[in-house]
Amino acid sequence: MSLSFNDLFSNDNFQSGVFPKTRYQGSKYKLTTWIADSLSTLEFDTVLDAFSGTSSVAYMFKAMGKSVIANDKMNFNYQIAKAFIENRSVTINEKDIDFVLKRDPAFSYKTFINDTFEGIYYLKDENLWLDIVTQNIHRVDNEYKRSLLFWALFQSCLSKRPYNLFHRNNLSVRTADVKRSFGNKATWDKPFDVHFLNFIKQANLAVFDNKKTNQAISNDVANLISDDIKSDLVYFDPPYVPQKGSLTMYMDFYHFLEGLTIYDDWGTKIDFHSKNNTMLKVKSPWEDRKLVSKEFFSCIEKFKDRKIAISYREDGIPSIDDIVVFLRSIGKCVDVKHVDYKYALSKKTDVREVLIVGV
């Protein structure tokens, strides 16, 4: 199946082969056409997306006819890559929807979400709905159907959250009877099943086969063994570590979605001393200004025999100059491209998006 980029990221949500709009902070969804144009003269057949996140760039590569390996450490992102990158043709049918949305009288359901997150993110009836649907999704045998259903559930959960995040105990923002300058109360209050069915339709229409072998994997980039990854190009979109200001803690933002994918083990991962029952903190060099440069350069170096493309921002750590110097030190000819772009929720208006290419 051949797709043009105008078709691929069309405003028409119901066009076959269109990647659905995302609600994730830092997503490259709106930059895919620019990234594709910037890489159009680069010769490569296979690509590793080392931090695949929402899979919008991996999907772009898939639409370009490339063989794609999409990697992300977070399990919920792995499910997204499974649904749209590795999956060739499996979609959700009415029987699947009926199974997932109905309470099975023969199954003993837990009420973990309602018991653990009461009054934090959703209303009681919504928590109970999530408990049933999440457990039903885990009971679906086909891995691609399961991943598609999870994606629809993720999007439904984000749609009903202020800021599309889970970083605060702020259900009151939604329920308070006050005049609002942001958000959409109608969307927040729309029933979960209505959101879910809409996203199932979008998910089904995003599935396509590019006639290549594509794979979703879930690993820390530092643990990837380069000899096991067959790719001409490695694309990095690493966690954003700004030179100044607060760090972006992705797990704090999306821990609830991660928990949905590990429902039976969720309780063992939670910091019950936190105000909103977030995940227990795991130290990461990607969230440490003193360690991130060494970690990033180490990850790049293990793929020094490949072509390298890095999505970046002008005020990140390491600096663009440092990245360019490092790429040249491992024998790369480097090209740096810029585009003006402002991320949702970002207060910075003078920081440009950058694509660094080393061949």
The whole-number pLDDT of residue 20 equals 80
pLDDT digits (tens, 9 = 90+) for 189-201: 999 999 999 999 9
Question: What mean pLDDT do residues 340-354 have?
Answer: 66
Question: What mean pLDDT do residues 90-111 have?
Answer: 98
- Computed over every residue of the chain, the mean pLDDT equals 90
Spatial separation of the C-alpha atoms in residues 17 and 295, rounded to whole Å? 36
Q: Give percent of the chain with pLDDT exceeding 70.
A: 89
Structure tokens at 42: 């680069």
Question: What mean pLDDT do residues 15-28 have?
Answer: 66
Question: What mean pLDDT do residues 159-175 have?
Answer: 88
Spatial separation of the C-alpha atoms in residues 87 and 154, rounded to whole Å? 18
pLDDT over threshold 70, residue 178: no
DSSP string, 8-34: HT-S-TTSTTPPPP---TT--GGGHHH
At 173, the pLDDT band (50, 70, 90 cuts) reads confident
The whole-number pLDDT of residue 8 equals 42
Structural domain 1-89+214-247+289-359, CATH architecture: 3-Layer(aba) Sandwich (3.40)
How far CA 353 is from CA of 43, 105, 356, in Å, comes to: 23, 52, 10
The whole-number pLDDT of residue 28 equals 82
Question: What mean pLDDT do residues 200-212 have?
Answer: 95
Question: What mean pLDDT do residues 49-62 have?
Answer: 96
Note the pTM of the prediction, 2 decimals.
Answer: 0.90
Question: What mean pLDDT do residues 301-312 have?
Answer: 97
The whole-number pLDDT of residue 9 equals 44
pLDDT over threshold 90, residue 180: no
Question: What mean pLDDT do residues 251-276 have?
Answer: 97
Q: Which residues of 41-55 are buried (b: 16+ CB within 10 A; e: fewer)?
A: eeebebbbbbbbbbb
pLDDT digits (tens, 9 = 90+) for 221-257: 999 999 999 999 999 999 999 998 888 889 999 999 9
Domains of the chain by residue range: 1-89+214-247+289-359, 93-206+253-283
The whole-number pLDDT of residue 348 equals 55
The whole-number pLDDT of residue 56 equals 94
Spatial separation of the C-alpha atoms in residues 128 and 123, rounded to whole Å? 9
Quick check: helix, strand or coil at residue 255? helix
Structure tokens at 211: 């006639």
Q: Which residues of 63-94 are buried (b: 16+ CB within 10 A; e: fewer)?
A: bbebbbbbbbbbebbbbbbbbbbbbeebbbee
pLDDT digits (tens, 9 = 90+) for 104-129: 999 999 999 999 999 999 999 999 99
Question: What mean pLDDT do residues 146-164 have?
Answer: 95
The whole-number pLDDT of residue 183 equals 58
